[in-house]
Every structure is written in structure tokens, then in C-alpha cells.
């Protein structure tokens, strides 16, 4: 269906009929269009990516320079900001915030994959009483503003004395509360022909067997997409750790960043900028490596990103 396959053929037919100079002019116009296309898109790219480039370069600016030099190039580049931030803040070294974030994100990925894949299999492949209503309810939670549950959830975890632990951040992931991923995997399973698992069923395989040996290997792309998105969203998440985590040594990066932002934004801008960049770095690397999975995942399922 792509446009590239259709255009050359049409052009060939036309060019056979039209006189030579005309044809040369057409080709010329086409390449001029392509050049304009590239230039326009490069300009948009420059605007879109400029803030990120600025952030990266700014990490090498000494704090004193921010007020006079908002431009891209630092006048006196140095690693001072990095050296300073590695000491950490509030008596906690910087690496600690990274490992905290990493732990939460990895647990979230494991929990989400486990619970979402199981639920998705049930929704997509098992016919049982109530499945239709439950599926509609699951879709409903996709559109539900989270505001309505954060207060009672907080009260619940407070009653269970789980505030200032990672449980409130991780437990919901093991219970598939992010309906987006259930939905994504359901859609993926529905695209798998039923013949394969029906054959397995006839051979006497139960649902557990069918799930683990037929479906699970086939939905790997959906699982990878879910894993990457879960990792990134959890890594970026601000509200949940803001609510639940009180001790600085348990802070994940976004909350630690707020600490830098509050404590040093006036006096030590360089440090704040450097930590901001370091916090984004894993995500950006993830993105560069897995961009096809991410972008195709969005194209397929319309994830919110």
C-alpha cells in the first residue's frame, strides 16, 4: 500500500508519453521537493531536539555561568557539576537513587509482564461466564482518571503500614492495574491464529500448557514493548513515590531530583541540570536501542507514551 511503489510506475507511464524536456523538468521538480522536504523536517528536528541538546551541553557549564550565558556553548566547560553531584544529597550518595529507581523499575517490569500476560490470555482465549463484562470493565479502567483511586489507595497502604516501603509502588504492578498492557497483549493474542492452540488442546494440553508453550513464545514482541514502556514509565513516575516514600535513602531519582531542585536551584544550578540529565540518560539509551519496538508499539496500540 506504500506510496513509493505506486509513484514510480505512474511516473514511468507518464514519462513514456511526454516529451523529453518536460520529463526532465518533472524529475527536477521532484528532487527539489525532496530537498525542501528534508530541509523542513531537519528544521523541525532541530527545534524539537534543541532542549535536549541544550540540557546535555549545559551539564558542562559551571553554575556561575548560567545567568550570563544561556546559549548552547559553555565558555568554561568543566566536569565540576558531575564531580559535585556524585557526592549525592541529604546524606545519600547519587548511585543510591539510581539503584532505588532501578530496583523499583525492574520489579514493576516483572510484575506487569506476569500479571498482564495471564490476564490477557484469559480475556483472549478462554470462554467463561462473565468474561465479557470483565473485559468491558478492564477497558473502562483505561479511561478512568487515576485521581479517584489515589486517596483511598493511600489510606489502604497507610492502614497496612506499608507507607515508606516499595510495596505500594510494586504490588499494583503484580496485580495488572495498568490495563494498557493487558489490552496490548490481548490485541496481540487475538491476531494469533487459533489453529495452533486448538491443535494443542486436542493433543490434550490444558490452558497452562497452551499458554506457556504456544502463546507465550508468540507474544514476545508485545511483552518486550510492555516491558520497555513499564520500565520507562516507572522510572519517570513522580506522583506515587512522592506520596509513599519519605526517607531520603529510599528515594528514587525523580524525588531526589526534586530535592536538588528545591535545595539548590538558586545557588547551584549546575548540579540540578547534571542530575536531570543523568536521570534521563538511561531512558534515552533505552530509546536509542529499542526505538523500533517503542514506535511500532505506539503505532499498533496507541499507547499514551
Partner 1 sequence: VSLETQSIASAEAGSETVRRTTRQSDGGNGKRNGGNGKATVTPGRRSANRRETIAGYGFLAPWLIGFLGLTIGPMIYSLYLAFTRYNLFTDPEWIGFDNFIRMFTEDPQYIQSVQITLVYVLVGTPIKLAAALGIAMLLNYRNKGSSFFRSSFYAPSLIGASVSVAILWRAMFSTDGPVDRSLSLFGINVGGWVGNVDLVIPMMILLAVWQFGAPMVIFLAGLKQIPQELYEAAEVDGAGPIRKFRSVTIPMLSSVIFFNLLLETINAFQVFASAYIISNGSGGPAGMTNFYTLYLYKRGFADLQMGYAAAMAWALVVVVAIIAFILFRTQKSWVHYAGENK
- 24-83 binders of partner 1 (CB under 8 A): 34, 37-38, 40-41, 44-45, 48-52, 54-55, 58, 66-68, 70-71
Which member of 147, 193, 204, 267 binds partner 1 (CB under 8 A)? 147
Q: Contact with partner 1 (CB under 8 A): which of 16, 73, 129, 267? A: 129
x/- string (CB under 8 A) for partner 1, residues 173-212? -xxxx----xx---xx-xx--------------xx---x-
By CB under 8 A, name the one of 107, 149, 162, 205 that touches partner 1.
149
Subset of residues 281 to 300 that bind partner 1, contact rule: CB under 8 A: 283-284, 287, 291-300
Whose grid coordinates read 505512474? 10
Q: Is 1 exposed, middle or buried (0-12, 13-18, 19+ CB in 10 A)?
A: exposed
Q: Is 8 in the site for partner 1 (CB under 8 A)?
A: no
Cβ proximity to partner 1, 20 vs 48, nearer residue? 48
132 contributes a contact to partner 1 by CB under 8 A = yes
The residue whose grid cell reads 530535592 is 259
| Cell numbers describing residue 264 | 539548590
Does the footprint of partner 1 cover residue 22 (CB under 8 A)?
no
Q: Choose which of 16, 73, 136, 202 interacts with partner 1 (CB under 8 A).
A: 136
Stretch of 12-20, 78-86, 94-102, 110-118 lying at the interface with partner 1 (CB under 8 A)? 110-118
Whole-number minimum distance, CB 78 to partner 1, in Å? 18
Which of 19, 21, 91, 152 binds partner 1 (CB under 8 A)? It is 152
3-state secondary structure the chain: CCHHHHHHHHHHHHHHHCCHHHHHHHHHHHHHHHHHHHHHHHHHHHHHHHHHHHHHHHCCCCHHHCCCCCCCCCCCCCCHHHHHHCCCECCECHHHHHHHHHHHHHHHHHHHHHHHHHHHHHHHHCCCCCHHHHHHHHHHHHCCCCHHHHHHHHHHHHHCCCCCCCHHHHHHHHCCCCHHHHHHHHHHHHCCCHHHHHHHHHCCCCHHHHHHHHHHHHCHHHHHHHHHHHHHHHHHCCHHHHHHCCCHHHCCHHHHHHHHHHHHCCCCHHHHHHHHHHHHHHHHHHHHHHHHHHHHHHHHHCCCC
Binding to partner 1 in span 245-274, by CB under 8 A:
253-254, 257-258, 261-262, 265, 269, 272-273
Binding residue count for partner 1, defined by CB under 8 A: 118
Beta carbon nearer to partner 1, 16 or 143? 143
CA dist list (Å): 101 to 61, 97, 294: 27, 6, 21
* Contact pick of 104, 105, 109, 121 for partner 1 (by CB under 8 A): 121
Nearest approach, Cβ of 192 to partner 1 (angstroms)?
9
Does residue 160 belong to the site contacting partner 1 (CB under 8 A)?
Answer: no
Task: Please choose, out of 15-23, 83-91, 98-106, 217-225, the segment that lies near partner 1 by the rule CB under 8 A.
Answer: 217-225
Among 74, 107, 236, 248, binds partner 1 (CB under 8 A): 236
Amino acid at each position: 500500500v506504500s506510496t513509493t511503489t505506486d509513484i514510480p510506475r505512474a511516473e514511468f507511464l507518464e514519462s513514456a508519453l511526454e516529451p523529453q524536456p518536460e520529463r526532465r523538468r518533472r524529475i527536477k521538480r521532484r528532487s527539489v521537493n525532496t530537498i525542501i522536504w528534508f530541509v523542513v523536517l531537519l528544521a523541525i528536528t532541530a527545534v524539537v531536539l534543541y532542549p535536549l541538546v541544550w540540557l546535555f551541553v549545559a551539564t558542562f557549564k559551571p553554575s556561575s555561568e548560567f545567568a550570563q550565558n544561556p546559549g548552547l556553548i559553555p565558555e568554561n566547560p568543566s566536569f565540576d557539576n558531575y564531580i559535585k553531584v556524585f557526592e549525592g544529597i541529604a546524606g545519600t550518595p547519587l548511585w543510591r537513587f539510581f539503584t532505588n529507581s532501578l530496583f523499583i523499575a525492574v520489579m514493576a517490569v516483572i510484575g506487569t509482564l506476569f500479571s498482564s500476560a495471564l490476564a490477557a490470555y484469559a480475556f483472549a482465549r478462554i470462554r467463561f461466564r462473565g468474561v465479557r463484562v470483565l473485559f468491558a470493565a478492564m477497558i473502562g479502567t483505561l479511561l478512568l482518571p487515576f485521581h479517584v483511586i489515589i486517596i483511598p489507595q493511600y489510606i489502604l497502604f497507610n492502614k497496612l503500614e506499608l507507607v515508606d516501603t516499595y510495596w505500594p509502588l510494586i504490588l499494583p504492578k503484580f496485580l495488572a492495574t495498568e490495563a494498557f498492557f493487558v489490552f496490548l497483549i490481548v490485541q496481540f493474542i487475538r491476531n494469533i491464529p487459533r489453529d495452533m492452540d486448538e491443535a494443542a488442546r486436542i493433543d490434550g494440553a490444558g490452558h497452562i500448557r497452551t499458554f506457556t508453550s504456544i502463546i507465550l513464545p508468540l507474544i514476545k514482541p508485545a511483552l518486550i514493548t510492555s516491558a520497555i514502556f513499564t520500565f520507562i514509565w516507572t522510572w519517570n513516575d513522580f506522583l506515587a513515590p512522592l506520596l509513599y516514600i519519605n526517607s531520603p535513602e529510599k528515594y528514587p531519582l525523580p524525588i531526589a531530583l526534586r530535592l536538588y531542585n528545591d535545595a539548590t536551584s538558586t545557588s547551584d544550578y549546575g548540579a540540578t541540570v547534571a542530575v536531570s540529565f543523568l536521570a534521563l540518560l538511561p531512558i534515552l539509551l533505552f530509546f536509542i536501542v529499542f526505538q523500533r519496538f517503542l514506535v511500532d508499539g505506539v503505532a499498533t496500540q496507541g499507547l499514551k507514551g
